[in-house]
Amino acid sequence: MAPASPDRPGPRTPRTLCIDIGGTGLKALVLDAAAAPQTERVRVETPRPATPGRVLRALWSLVEPLGSFERVSVGFPGVVVNGVTHTAPNLHPDWAGFRLAHALKDRFRRPTRVLNDAGLQGYGVVQGRGVEMLLTLGTGMGCALFNDGVYVPNIELAHHPFRKGKTYEEYVGAAAMAAVGKKRWNRRVARVVAQVLPIFNPRRLYLGGGNAKHVEVDLPREVHLVANIAGLLGGIALWRGADD
């Protein structure tokens, strides 16, 4: 990255390394304090088996070229409480009880915060007014609920029974799309949206995740497609108030 010129101010600090741990890919980039990207987004395939040790080793190699940063934000595909991962249905059972925030802080020597990946992506798109909801369509299905910009943590709607003996995740996850094809998968997404709207009554419902780009059905006016990079851009929100 070229140095700042006298007419072009440099990046605002602190810089935040944002990491998105997914069931299919690991992604990262560095943002400045104004949430402007300071690096390209980098990505590698999630290793298999996706044990903590294998995923962390892949992350070290992924992050190394990105340069300096002062803090770390991580989105993780499962229940996270106080930096400890409790579930990881699309990774590996060894993540149960894993101190992810501690492991990353110890490695990077930087303060680290970890949140459910749908929650992190939601922070990248919500407007902060009323009830807003995000569903992520990827390897599985993530869910995040916000009220006036405040995140309600770890709502695992994906694993709730939905239709014909299938959970939401089994119905619209990546495996389902591969099995039934994109046309039928789109009809399934429309059914999920129709089910969710009258239950949570969000002012806005966002559809994100890596497979949101395949959504082609007509959506109600309160439903909006969002770019998957929001899963990284939301990393700044985890430090809201830390710079005051």
For residues 190-196, give the mean pLDDT. 97
Which domains are assigned to the chain? 16-120+231-239 (3.30.420.40), 127-225 (3.30.420.40)
Confidence label for 28 from pLDDT (cuts 50, 70 and 90)? very high
pTM for this structure? Answer: 0.89
pLDDT at 10: 57
Asked if residues 193 and 225 have their Cβ atoms less than 8 Å apart, the reply is no
Summary mean pLDDT of the chain: 92
Band (pLDDT 50/70/90 cuts) for residue 243 is low
Q: Find all residues with CB under 8 Å of 198, minimum gap 6, and list them.
A: none
pLDDT tens digits, 53-85: 999 999 999 999 999 999 999 999 999 999 999
pLDDT at 3: 40
Q: At what angle do helices 52-63 and 100-108 cross, to 10 degrees?
A: 40
What is the Cα–Cα distance from 191 to 171, expressed in whole angstroms? 10
Q: Per DSSP, which regions of 7-105 are E strands?
A: 16-21, 25-31, 42-45, 71-76, 80-81, 84-85, 98-99
Residue 2's pLDDT is: 39
SS3 177: helix
Q: Are strands 166-167 and 161-163 parallel, antiparallel or unpaired?
A: antiparallel
